[in-house]
Amino acid sequence: MAAQFPPNPKRRDHNVWNLPTRKTLRKGQRDHSWDEFRKVIPLVPLRSGAHADSLPPKVAVLMCTMQGQRFLAEQLNSIATQTHPNWEIWASDDGSDDHTHSILEYYQEHWGEDRLSIHAGPAEGSTANFLSLTCRADIDTEFFAYADQDDIWESDKLERAMKWLQTVPRHIPALYGSRTQLVDERNQYIGYSPLFGRSPSFENALVQNVAGGNTMVFNRAARDLLRRAGDQVQVVAHDWWAYMVITGCGGRVYYDPYPTVRYRQHGDNQVGANISWGARLVRLRLLLKGRFRKWTDENIRALQTIRPLLTDENRSILDEFERSRNDRVLKRLGGLWESGVYRQTLLGNLGLIAASLLKKI
């Protein structure tokens, strides 16, 4: 049955702010820009709490922030309106000097510290920030979700993820991810992320991330695996790493074709959607310059640090893939075939073959 997509979003201009960066104030000086800012924050109050015995399992929402004042409130509001009501936000800020921290404190004041806690990030980039949150021993829940600061969650995002995750036995690492709806800075519909049809697997994870971290929800067994890998591991991206680790160690991954997140495209995106021909040409140029090969080097080094945790089959796949990258042309292609690695689309697989021929993978 085809997935029924959420309706296209309507314009919400009042949620896009272009206020100047907060300046350092002298002792006793009042921040008047924050006074003006607070007047237009459309804070969503939380629903009345249900009895603890009737609540579904709690989800820890791992949110990393940095200079996020423009869109943060809208993202927080979308979490507040989830049909799955039992969640808590762990916000890790990497040293913002705009109103990000004030917004978090404003919501914390209204929602309570049990719903929103604020922490200092490592200030080493978003990947390090997400890994640090993932590995915090004091986050004690059965389920976890990554959240970017600038997106909008559809109201049933957590409910859909939990419906699948709760079909997986608790001891098996499990990761849910989905397609996204793309919107612009003003929450206007642009399109959808690519629809993937092939099953998620370690062979796919070695050369491609199947779902963005902003859609990912995972269970405690998956979080425990990521904690064993540690927060100091050097990887390209936290979400791609999660996909590799969980599939590599015998866990389960589900890709939902239903878009559960409105993925906002704007000038400050660290990684944007790759749907236009212009974006694809940019990726092609990066491939030819060797960027993809450097990413693969980094990911393989990281996977070798958790080699004992990989299944026997996936260790063999990793070894064959690694050998094939550095062999002569025909053996490179043969090794690529033997390893079984693949991307999700025909165009992606043609690019993979071309990269192998050029020794750019």
pLDDT at 14: 40
**Based on the domain organization, do 246 and 319 belong to the same domain?**
no
pLDDT at 6: 64
| Boundary-marking domain end, from 264, 298, 321 | 264
Number of domains into which the chain is organized: 2
Domain span at residue 92 reads 34-264
Assess if residue 133 is contained within a domain. Answer: yes
**Based on the domain organization, do 203 and 337 belong to the same domain?**
no
Sign of CA dihedral 117, 62, 186, 4: negative
Assess if residue 15 is contained within a domain. Answer: no
pLDDT at 12: 41
Task: For residue range 134-181, list pLDDT tens digits in order.
Answer: 999 999 999 999 999 999 999 999 999 999 999 999 999 999 999 999
**Based on the domain organization, do 127 and 55 belong to the same domain?**
yes
Assess if residue 17 is contained within a domain. Answer: no
181, 262 Cβ separation under 8 angstroms = yes
**Based on the domain organization, do 251 and 346 belong to the same domain?**
no
pLDDT at 137: 94
**Based on the domain organization, do 111 and 135 belong to the same domain?**
yes
82, 152 Cβ separation under 8 angstroms = no
Low-confidence ranges of the chain (pLDDT < 70): 1-32, 48-53, 267-280, 283-284, 287-288
- Cα–Cα distances (Å) from 164 to 5, 176, 184, 217, in that order, read 18, 8, 30, 10
**Based on the domain organization, do 228 and 303 belong to the same domain?**
no
Assess if residue 78 is contained within a domain. Answer: yes
What gap in Å lies between CA 194 and CA 210, rounded to an integer?
Answer: 10
What gap in Å lies between CA 85 and CA 74, rounded to an integer?
Answer: 17
What gap in Å lies between CA 245 and CA 255, rounded to an integer?
Answer: 16
**Based on the domain organization, do 297 and 180 belong to the same domain?**
no
Assess if residue 297 is contained within a domain. Answer: yes
Assess if residue 2 is contained within a domain. Answer: no
CATH at 124: 3.90.550.10
Global pTM reads 0.88
